[in-house]
Structure 1
Amino acid sequence: MNAFLKFMKRNYKIVALVVLLAGALFGFTMIPGQKENDPDKDKLLIELLTYVIEKGHYNPAAIDDTFSKGVYKDYLENIDPSKRFFTQADINEFSKYETQLDDQINNRDLSFFYLTYGRLQQRIKEANSFYKDILAKPFDFKADESFNTDYEKMPFAKDDAELRDRWRKQLKLSVLSSVADKEKMQDAPAEDKLKDKEKGFSDEKALEAKPGADVNKTKANGEKKSFTELEKEARESTLKSLNDYFDFVGDLKQEEWFSIYMNAIAERFDPHTYYFAPDDKDKFDTSMRGSLEGIGARLQKKNDFVEISELIPGGPAWRGKELEQGDLIMKVAQGKDQPVDISGMRLDDVVKKIKGPKGTEVRLTVKKVDGSVKTIAITREVVEIEETYAKSSIVKKGGKTYGVIYLPKFYIDFENQDNRDAAKDVAAEVDHLKAQGVDGIVMDLRDNGGGSLKTVVDIAGLFIEKGPVVQVRSRAEDGKPSDKPEVLTDNDPKVHYDGPLVVLINNFSASASEIFAAAIQDYNRGLILGSKQSYGKGTVQNIIDLNRFVRGSTFGNLGALKTTTQKFYRINGGSTQREGVKSDIIMPDKYSYIEIGERDSDNALPWDKIAQAPYKPFKNNFAPAIANSKKRIAESAEFKLMDENAKFLSERKDDNNYSLNIDKFKADAAKIEVAAKKFKALGKYNSNLTFDALPYEKEKFKNDPALAEKKKDWYESLGKDAYVNEALNVLDDLQPKGGKTASTEAKKETRIKTR
């Protein structure tokens, strides 16, 4: 049995062992008759959750006072993230439970949940009664007052009067920013209006409090609308959005709020441990599959909003280059309709709003990772599956020929071995590039969120002689991480490609991508270029059906639990968890000064180190190439501007205070627009290199013009990519003397010394 099969067998045993142990504990018949809000079912779910995590999690946290404080904080943030419902009096009453939740969890005591749930329903009804009064009359935009949207640092309102005033200011900011956008559109030249309409709204964090603004800026006869008319329109659209929001919240059942409490507990163990409420597992799978139609994005719940977890290569969102992994969706609008606030909505309801017929437009108001808020217009399409597979291109530079392989995911179909396999596809692309006599290869793993472990081992094996690729550590029988990790090894002595190699990564290269980059780095086989470090996800998860633990239950579907069961380690012994893979050559990007990835989660599993696996690194000397690249980057006007932009975005991230005086608001917005204007040049970069298809693909294009057109877009995007251009410069620096590749010479030297 090879290392991978052993790994899979152990992985299965983890789940099987938990189920087996549970048979004796939960093998009894539940109380007959299923009630809609059944405390016995809630207690059983808490017990199941903690039991499965205790027996199956890689390294479960102790359920103590520290754990209790984390659950308390996360739960309140999840049910009232904008602090617009609870008052300080409520919090004072809740606070006595801050260090008692661990005891309540262990004793299946749900007093805290029932107290907060009941109070939240009361506060929602109260807010529902007064926001309409606030929006019934015009705001005074000459008054000198401000509103801060940093809800995390904002204290709770001290009493009902202050809470109502907070709603007034929040709604005032919403209307003000909408009116300012409308006026700006009216005053803009016709061509600018078209561009703004195509792109959505400008980069303004004030949109966070704004339910939306329409694109109908002028009267039917072409005359400009007055300020009074625009202000009235903005209040009406805000009112409609809030009405929709409160209608939605009013339809939520208690069990859906209880799922939020369950996840406040589950996610304290680590960010990837998650409870799927009854039927949510099926809905989640449907949303994952359905995301291939529409905008081409995979979604996941993130507190009160929905997060973009992945962009499908080739899809409209991916091609638009505006929506990014990590963006939080706050509002959704259909074409020219008013945006709907999706705060608190179920994932499947958000998916339904985003999906739609091919050719229709959806507008997403998203909060970017840098803290800015932007509305992005996307035309829905059917995403071609072909675009999610590995692909390559060739380019001539400085008398040399280079290849670029883009791998969006480490895909494989275990059920049908005849289907596509990333390892086979990458091997084929390497063969095609070698047939063209390439002098070096760029392996582009940017935004690659991972995939199959078997696949990453096989792909790494294309570039090295046989040897270990990754170590996987599981939980031992005593409940502690095992001292004997599985070592997954490439057993094929053949080196498919031994020439110069560069691997491109960014902040969103995760999991299997990090394993590949780490192996190439540890073997000293190639250079890693890109962001300061990759995402830092060094863990494996399994989804466990909770219904398997209870016999004769009349409670219906109990849901499922995704929990962390294993941890990755590099062959040098270091974990990829939190730290990710650090680039050999760091290139500036927009997130250079923003903490992003696993390290940004306070409950992420820690970095640690185990013994290294036995391996022999190549003797390549990359120091000259690294020095040359760093010098080019330091002198590059393009990269200097990227670095300035990153600093600008980092500073803007913490700028949360907005004047509610219209003159000051416009003046502040104008300053930001002037400051940001210089960064528009980043979108105009062009390396003037011509990327082309390989001969075998050109034959395909003869019978598939649509494929040719899509690939043409990709080739053009490579020519406008400063990161790819620098990767090619590095390959040029790696060119060997005497016509032989650096890796071939290094391997020959290694063999001589080890005979």
Structure 2
Amino acid sequence: MKTKFKFNTILLVITLLINSFVINASEKNNFSDPDPDKDKVLIYVLKNILTRGHFVAKELNDDFSELVYNSFIDGLDPSKRYFTQEDLKEFSQYKYEIDNQLLRDDLTFYNLVYNRFLDEMKKAKSYYAALLSQPFDFDEDETIEIDYEKIPFAKNNNELIDYWRKQLKLQTLGRIEEQTELQENKVKKDSSFKVKSFATLEKEAREEVLKNMDELYVRIEELENDDWFSTFLNSVVGAFDPHTTYMSPNIKEKFDQDISGKLEGIGARLQKKGIYTHVFELVPGGPASKQGDLEPEDIILKVAQGDEEPIDIVRMRLDDAIKFIKGKKGTEVRLTVKKKLDNSIKVISIIRDVVELDETYVKSSIVEKNGKKFAIIDLPSFYIDFSDDAYRDSAKDMEQEIERLKGEGVTGLIVDLRNNGGGSLKTAIEISGLFIDQGPIVQVKYRGDNPVVKEDIDPKTQWEGSVVVLVNEFSASASEIFAAAMQDYKRAVILGGNQTYGKGTVQNVLPINQFYPKYETDLGYLKMTIQKFYRVNGGSTQIEGVYSDIAMPSRYSYMKFGERDLEGALAWDKVPQAKYTQSNSYSNFADVVYNSKQRIASSENFQLVNEYAKWLKKNQDETSYSLNYKKFYEESEVKEVEAKKFKSVFDYKSDFTFSSPKYEQDLLKIDNSLADKRVAWHKNLSKDMYVSEALNVLSELKLRDKSTIIKN
């Protein structure tokens, strides 16, 4: 969650940090004047900010040193293409010395590894060129492990070249399979189509791989020391926690665009992790979200414009990668993606469009069941804009939407927080307050301080009817604060995946020059974790997230997913429980939960989803591939047959009819675009088995007399 602070607020929060650090910096003899060595200045400033201002008081010791050591080497060479065990033996003399070097602003370790990396990259050009100049033997019975964490670094240069051979052979094999399938499809359409021989396909595949490798190394050679040093800095700051990152000036500019401008094209927010471009999140209502195949944490490997040949974007600067992914409305972009779920490689075609910001705002739909009116409110994010006096505010929008729905006789609400990655803490508190009289919503804690209870102080309850909160594994941060409050107050039934994402921390972006004002060059920014959130019951939402009252099978059910899957994530802990009074709203809560679990267990639809989730997990765990063409093709055929079994996994159709609330009906008559969007949304709702079960739960809930409460 990025809590919106004004600059003065940031200063109040970390005044002591800034004052003491700036003074100490000016008094330090070898930094009395700006050091021409920008790298040393950055190390000096960052270590002081982090050790004094990060939520966790972490010592720069041998354990810290080992984290930086492993992270930096993995950041430069995740596929184990460059370093050998002989290199690591030399590097390891500094494995437990990096902390001491950082304290001295000493870059000996960085310089050794970085310069060796540059040397090995120059050699690599000759490796791949020579290996791709001759045909591969696809009759040989050998395998490759693509989970590089499972294999050691090559013992020596000869074994390193063999690693290269296998990786290039796999790329060539994949290309041959792709072209073979294209030929087979063409023959089905045109029996006179002339099929190319295997030898020809193999040669063309090697040529294509060589072309891609050459293009990759052209981009690598354009990178400068600042780019690689940023990798080292992120190894240092990332040792505090995975959400703490260093942003160079140009990356900060892209980060700002991530808030506003990076949404055009396919409607996805992207971020760089090591050499890869990851999908951070999808914009609700955007082209990628509507298309449905691209998901958060997927890795984009290649980008193609329509029918053109794809361009490899591995190791490409994020801003350059975005240029290829963006494009004019109506044009096609084809993304070659490594799926987070099962490590499979998939080509996803998306038609670019203008991302409609209106689709990121609150909207609702009304449905009838058993003679009663219910509504689903879609809340894509906890949005707010402080820069405009007439800003759009999710809390105000929710309040208005609820009031309109009450006017139409709606008796129960589903609040849909699926894929809601968070937003403003202020609006999360205010929206929670719409469903309770008043009381604490969340506890906020800074390092070394006692938790501060954030309360809803408005005694008014905007909605007193039944509530079901629909979540999934991508519901994070502010979504978890709201869902946790509803659960702790026993105000709503939480329905969805086993647990939500589990992000219970907040970061702020700090300009580094603020801490070292004498340095005239822009030093970049530090995004640093400064707070942690806790439920009113005292437990953190960090790692654990919010466990659903009713867990429904999803494609992520057996995956390691969310904050708990991030290396170095801050631990779960608890603080004293806040003083609050449970609403204990329902007289039949336990019965409704039991009934729902029975329906889900006996549902063929949910049983198939559960089987699908197990299959995805199995594929995720299978990271070894045969490099024998016949076996490779047979393995692919088996997976394709298995996949067909799950082709209809989400084919579901309910008898529910969804419609827009009355206030929107007049708008639909004059706005064809909005009308089309609502038709599509309502159609999707009627095909959504999770919404159907939420309606079943909602229809069974019985409100308790408000005088019956549990005191805490």
**TM surpasses 0.5:** yes
C-alpha distance in 1 between matches for 2:611 and 2:114: 46
- Asked if the contact 1:287–1:351 (Cα under 8 Å) also holds between the matched residues in 2, the reply is no
How many angstroms does 1:89 deviate by? 0.9
The letter of the residue matching 2:102 is I
Q: Quick one: which of 650, 660, 677 aligns to 2:644?
A: 677
Provide closer, same or farther for how the CA distance between residues 189 and 727 of structure 1 changes in structure 2, counting only shifts above 3 A.
farther
- Asked if the contact 2:183–2:195 (Cα under 8 Å) also holds between the matched residues in 1, the reply is yes
1:342 is matched with which residue?
313
Matched, 1:454 2:426: yes
Matched, 1:226 2:218: no
C-alpha distance in 2 between matches for 1:167 and 1:650: 28
Matched, 1:417 2:389: yes
Matched, 1:333 2:330: no
Matched, 1:609 2:566: no
2:23 is matched with which residue?
24
1:502 is matched with which residue?
468
How many angstroms does 1:355 deviate by? 1.0
How many angstroms does 1:9 deviate by? 7.7
1:645 is matched with which residue?
612
1:594 is matched with which residue?
559
- Asked if the contact 1:14–1:565 (Cα under 8 Å) also holds between the matched residues in 2, the reply is no
C-alpha distance in 2 between matches for 1:630 and 1:651: 25
1:627 is matched with which residue?
594
C-alpha distance in 2 between matches for 1:139 and 1:306: 30
2:249 is matched with which residue?
278
C-alpha distance in 1 between matches for 2:476 and 2:495: 15
Provide closer, same or farther for how the CA distance between residues 523 and 147 of structure 1 changes in structure 2, counting only shifts above 3 A.
same
Q: Quick one: which of 508, 511, 523 aligns to 2:477?
A: 511
Structure 2: give runs of 5+ residues left out of the alignment: none
Matched, 1:149 2:115: no
C-alpha distance in 2 between matches for 1:377 and 1:320: 8
Q: How does 1:188-207 map to 2 (within 5 A)?
A: 188=185
1:177 is matched with which residue?
174
1:492 is matched with which residue?
458
Q: Quick one: which of 127, 131, 137 aligns to 1:134?
A: 131
The letter of the residue matching 2:679 is K
1:358 is matched with which residue?
329
- SS of the residue corresponding to residue 453 of structure 2 reads strand
Q: Quick one: which of 350, 356, 376 aligns to 2:348?
A: 376
The letter of the residue matching 1:422 is S
Provide closer, same or farther for how the CA distance between residues 668 and 14 of structure 1 changes in structure 2, counting only shifts above 3 A.
same
- SS of the residue corresponding to residue 188 of structure 1 reads helix
How many angstroms does 1:283 deviate by? 2.6
Matched, 1:298 2:297: no
Q: TM-score w.r.t. structure 2 length?
A: 0.95
Matched, 1:246 2:245: no
How many angstroms does 1:34 deviate by? 9.6
How many angstroms does 1:227 deviate by? 2.3
Provide closer, same or farther for how the CA distance between residues 11 and 488 of structure 1 changes in structure 2, counting only shifts above 3 A.
farther
Q: How does 1:378-457 map to 2 (within 5 A)?
A: 378-457=350-429
- Asked if the contact 1:279–1:557 (Cα under 8 Å) also holds between the matched residues in 2, the reply is no
- Asked if the contact 2:154–2:160 (Cα under 8 Å) also holds between the matched residues in 1, the reply is yes
Q: Quick one: which of 545, 548, 560 aligns to 1:580?
A: 545
The letter of the residue matching 1:306 is T
- Asked if the contact 1:593–1:650 (Cα under 8 Å) also holds between the matched residues in 2, the reply is yes
- Asked if the contact 1:276–1:560 (Cα under 8 Å) also holds between the matched residues in 2, the reply is yes
The letter of the residue matching 2:76 is I
The letter of the residue matching 1:595 is K
Matched, 1:124 2:121: yes
Percent identity over paired residues: 48
How many angstroms does 1:547 deviate by? 0.8
Q: CA RMSD in A?
A: 2.3
How many angstroms does 1:284 deviate by? 2.2
Matched, 1:563 2:563: no
Matched, 1:102 2:99: yes
- How many pairs align? 705
The letter of the residue matching 1:105 is L
1:463 is matched with which residue?
435
How many angstroms does 1:292 deviate by? 1.9
The letter of the residue matching 1:655 is E
1:201 is matched with which residue?
none
C-alpha distance in 2 between matches for 1:175 and 1:547: 48
Alpha-carbon displacement from aligned partner over 1:283-334 (angstroms, at most 9, x marks no partner): 3212442222100011112222122111111110010111111212222222
How many angstroms does 1:189 deviate by? 7.3
Q: Quick one: which of 704, 707, 711 aligns to 1:748?
A: 707
- SS of the residue corresponding to residue 684 of structure 1 reads coil
C-alpha distance in 1 between matches for 2:329 and 2:116: 43
- My pick for the range that moved more, 267-276 or 278-287, is 278-287
C-alpha distance in 1 between matches for 2:706 and 2:518: 63
How many angstroms does 1:691 deviate by? 1.3
How many angstroms does 1:7 deviate by? 12
- Asked if the contact 2:282–2:289 (Cα under 8 Å) also holds between the matched residues in 1, the reply is yes
The letter of the residue matching 2:516 is V
How many angstroms does 1:680 deviate by? 0.7
2:501 is matched with which residue?
535
The letter of the residue matching 2:23 is A
C-alpha distance in 1 between matches for 2:414 and 2:137: 58
The letter of the residue matching 1:21 is S
- Asked if the contact 2:34–2:519 (Cα under 8 Å) also holds between the matched residues in 1, the reply is no
How many angstroms does 1:488 deviate by? 1.1
- SS of the residue corresponding to residue 27 of structure 1 reads helix
The letter of the residue matching 1:677 is K
1:115 is matched with which residue?
112
Alpha-carbon displacement from aligned partner over 1:515-568 (angstroms, at most 9, x marks no partner): 0000000000010011111111111111110111223324x1111101011110
C-alpha distance in 2 between matches for 1:660 and 1:507: 35
Q: Quick one: which of 82, 87, 95 aligns to 1:85?
A: 82
Alpha-carbon displacement from aligned partner over 1:648-694 (angstroms, at most 9, x marks no partner): 11111111111111111111111111122111111322123221111
C-alpha distance in 2 between matches for 1:631 and 1:190: 50
Q: Quick one: which of 711, 716, 721 aligns to 2:688?
A: 721
- Asked if the contact 1:288–1:299 (Cα under 8 Å) also holds between the matched residues in 2, the reply is no
- Asked if the contact 1:574–1:608 (Cα under 8 Å) also holds between the matched residues in 2, the reply is yes
- My pick for the range that moved more, 424-433 or 404-413, is 424-433
Matched, 1:693 2:664: no
- Asked if the contact 1:241–1:338 (Cα under 8 Å) also holds between the matched residues in 2, the reply is no
- SS of the residue corresponding to residue 149 of structure 2 reads coil
Q: Quick one: which of 617, 625, 629 aligns to 1:662?
A: 629
C-alpha distance in 1 between matches for 2:493 and 2:427: 21
- SS of the residue corresponding to residue 623 of structure 1 reads helix
1:215 is matched with which residue?
none
Alpha-carbon displacement from aligned partner over 1:40-76 (angstroms, at most 9, x marks no partner): 3211111111101112111232211111111111111
C-alpha distance in 2 between matches for 1:456 and 1:399: 32
- Asked if the contact 1:27–1:549 (Cα under 8 Å) also holds between the matched residues in 2, the reply is no
